[in-house]
Amino acid sequence: MSAASRFEGSYLGDATRIGAATRMECKICWHVYDPAEGCEHWQVPPGTGFAALPGHWRCPVCDGARDQFMALDGDSAVAETPVPPAVVVAPVTGPTLPTEAIARLEAAFREIHTAQMRGMPIVNDALAVKAVGFRRHGERWLGALVTPWFLNLVLLPGEGDEWSDLVPGTKELIEFPSGWYEFVHANRKGVGAYKACSLFSPMFEFSSMLQATETASAALVSLFDPAIREDGAQTAEIRRRREEELAPPPDPDPVPAEPLRPSRRALLGMGTGDAADA
């Protein structure tokens, strides 16, 4: 991966821009490093700022590199460009209507885009923040969230769920008809607790918002297709097959004697020229 395409957080790779008390959030798994708590995994004592972490330090949850963290809050070491006021929302105890939950989710990530992500190397300026295809899944709400820097599946709590004690960054395998998917627990102001499954990040393979939302819709459909069920978690397979689609086509292979098993790429609409032109 080139330096230009790496996620450099909201501090542009310059550690001097990070305040000593600033909490930093991993873009991959959303684990939060809090200087007040330190890091037990790497034996970093409390009171150690992110900029003072040892060079070998990586995310203790997903093993992501430190340059994949972005500033969550805290004091800034340098002057920041003023940002619009935060969206004011009531405390969240569980969505009662899908439109209410979707509005909270979109508003929170539009604020992140405006206040923290705009102009960052990972951002695809052709895309925007949009929730896609939310529907009931049991007692909960399942859908997808497209942003200029990621495409995630999102599971929101139902009225009877108590997710306030979820630990951000904790991973959980959730079963669907097509297989097991790895979701990460999160708890964000203005949204409340939810679970997210990363499908794509960054988003530079998408040339339009239509292409990104159609891929999100196709992924939601494929979740419930038992014909594509395979052993193990499926999210890495989705990403791998998308990367194969973007690679130059190989020389034509002989036609197999037996029909091939349908691939996840085809079921996501990523195996034909139609998807590429969307």
Which pTM value belongs to this model?
0.55
Residue 275's pLDDT is 32
Q: How high is the pLDDT of residue 253?
A: 59
**What local confidence, expressed as pLDDT, does residue 189 receive?**
86
Query: What pLDDT was estimated at residue 154?
Result: 96
Q: Which fold has domain 93-248+260-278?
A: Yope Regulator; Chain: A, (3.30.1460)
Residue ranges of domains in the chain: 1-80, 93-248+260-278
Which has the closest alpha carbon to 102: 137, 130, 136?
130
pLDDT tens string, the chain, 278 residues long: the values are 333 333 344 455 566 678 888 888 887 767 788 888 888 888 888 888 888 898 888 888 777 788 878 887 644 444 444 555 554 444 445 445 568 888 989 999 999 999 999 889 999 999 999 999 999 898 899 999 999 999 999 999 988 888 988 999 999 999 999 999 999 999 998 888 999 999 999 999 999 999 999 999 999 999 999 988 865 555 555 555 555 655 666 666 555 444 333 333 444 544 333 333 33
Dihedral, CA atoms, 67, 236, 108, 156, nearest 10 degrees? -140
The CATH number that domain 1-80 falls under is 2.20.28.10
